[in-house]
């Protein structure tokens, strides 16, 4: 009886912390995605002249949604250590600009598709994959957000769209440059791409 009670106690102790965090990652991602959708659906921002205002609002939401340092470290992987602290800081800033420029136009072209958040899949002790689906008239597109818990906040460090990871995609491109060129060369390439050369 005592053994059984001890087992039940252990199970309850393990279960309650999980219950406290269950859904927190999904809620955090969905909350930010809903904010983006509110901007996209705002009738006062529909005109072409307000396109930049719309992009700026979306970027501000992205700043609170993503962990750009974690995203940068995972993208550069082993090459991260080749960068000085100053170069790492510049890389994070340029990479952030590149992602904003690359994806802003795609997001702004949103035409009232429905987004359904389905579940959380634990990856590690600190990371979770939040799975969602964009439902269009003719197709469904799976979008998975990989998030990390930083000081109690769930922040996105990778996005997987139709099986393609943003981090892995850019890691391959950057690895090719860094295989025979120094970090300064990659930084220069990024400066040109985002118009900061």
- DSSP state letter for 42: -
- 64, 151, 124, 98 alpha-carbon torsion, rounded to 10°: 30
Whole-angstrom CA distances from 5 to 9, 18, 72, 110 are: 6, 20, 47, 54
The percentage of residues in the chain with a pLDDT greater than 90, rounded to a whole number, is 59
Q: Hey, what domains does the chain have and what are their CATH numbers?
A: 25-193 (3.10.450.710)
pLDDT digits (tens, 9 = 90+) for 79-107: 999 999 999 999 999 999 999 877 766 67
Contact criterion met (CB below 8 Å) for 104 and 56: no
Q: What is the pLDDT of residues 12-28, one digit of tens each?
A: 333 333 333 448 999 99
């Amino acid at each position: 009886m005592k053994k059984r009670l001890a087992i039940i106690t252990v199970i309850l102790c393990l279960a309650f912390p999980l219950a406290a965090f269950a859904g927190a990652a999904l809620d955090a991602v969905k909350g930010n995605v809903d904010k983006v959708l509110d901007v996209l659906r705002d009738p006062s921002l529909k005109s072409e002249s307000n396109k930049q205002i719309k992009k700026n609002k979306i970027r501000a939401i992205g700043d609170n949604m993503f962990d750009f340092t974690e995203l940068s470290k995972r993208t550069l992987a082993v090459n991260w250590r080749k960068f000085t602290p100053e170069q790492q800081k510049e890389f994070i800033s340029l990479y952030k600009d590149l992602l904003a420029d690359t994806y802003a136009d795609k997001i702004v072209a949103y035409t009232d598709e429905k987004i359904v958040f389905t579940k959380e899949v634990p990856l590690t002790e600190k990371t979770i994959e939040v799975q969602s689906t964009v439902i269009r008239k003719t197709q469904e597109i799976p979008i998975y957000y990989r998030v990390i818990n930083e000081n109690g906040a769930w922040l996105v460090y990778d996005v997987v769209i139709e099986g393609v990871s943003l981090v892995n995609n850019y890691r391959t491109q950057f690895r090719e440059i860094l295989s025979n060129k120094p970090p300064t060369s990659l930084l220069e390439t990024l400066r040109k791409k985002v118009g900061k050369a």
